[in-house]
Amino acid sequence: MIEIRFKLCTLAKRSLSRFIRGCQVLVGELVREKEEREAAHAATLEAAKAPEGETLAQKLEREKAERKQAALERSQQRQREKAYFEERKLANEAGLLEKEEKAAAKKAALAAIQLDNVAPNEPGAENNEGSNDTP
């Protein structure tokens, strides 16, 4: 009986040690995968840096300043060219005239539709034929 217990304990110890070794292998794999992910992330961050060694935030700020400066230069150039303002003024006036013409045409079309909708027996109608009001 003691011999059977000893064998069972030995088997249990072996199984337990195998289980522990298996867990250690799994933990080692997880640690290795985590290190690979961190290395890939670090490489991505490093790639985001400019060749001069500036960070991503510094690069974005520099590019924004460059775009702003280019916009200011374009604006100053337009201001120096007086013809630009004349062209814009003429284009605006042409647009206003076109709007006024469209509004007048629309108003005339609505007036024509209203005249067509007036019934012949109404007091405001031009032709009162068929009216029973005549003596």
Residue 119 scores a pLDDT above 90:
no
Residue 36 scores a pLDDT above 90:
yes
**What is the structure's pLDDT at 10?**
74
**Cα–Cα separations (whole angstroms), residue 56 to 40, 63, 68, 118:** 17, 11, 18, 72
User: Where is pLDDT greater, at 24 or 119?
Assistant: 24
pLDDT band at 7 (very low <50, low <70, confident <90, very high): low
Average pLDDT of the segment spanning 36-57: 78
- For 88-104, the pLDDT digits (tens) are 888 899 998 899 999 99
Residue 65 scores a pLDDT above 90:
yes
- For 12-34, the pLDDT digits (tens) are 778 888 888 888 988 999 999 99
Asked if 27 contacts 19 with a C-beta cutoff of 8 angstroms, the reply is no
**Cα–Cα separations (whole angstroms), residue 103 to 2, 59, 109, 111:** 110, 52, 10, 12
Percent share of the chain, pLDDT over 70:
76
- Which DSSP symbol is given to 54? -
Average pLDDT of the segment spanning 54-78: 90
Average pLDDT of the segment spanning 26-47: 88
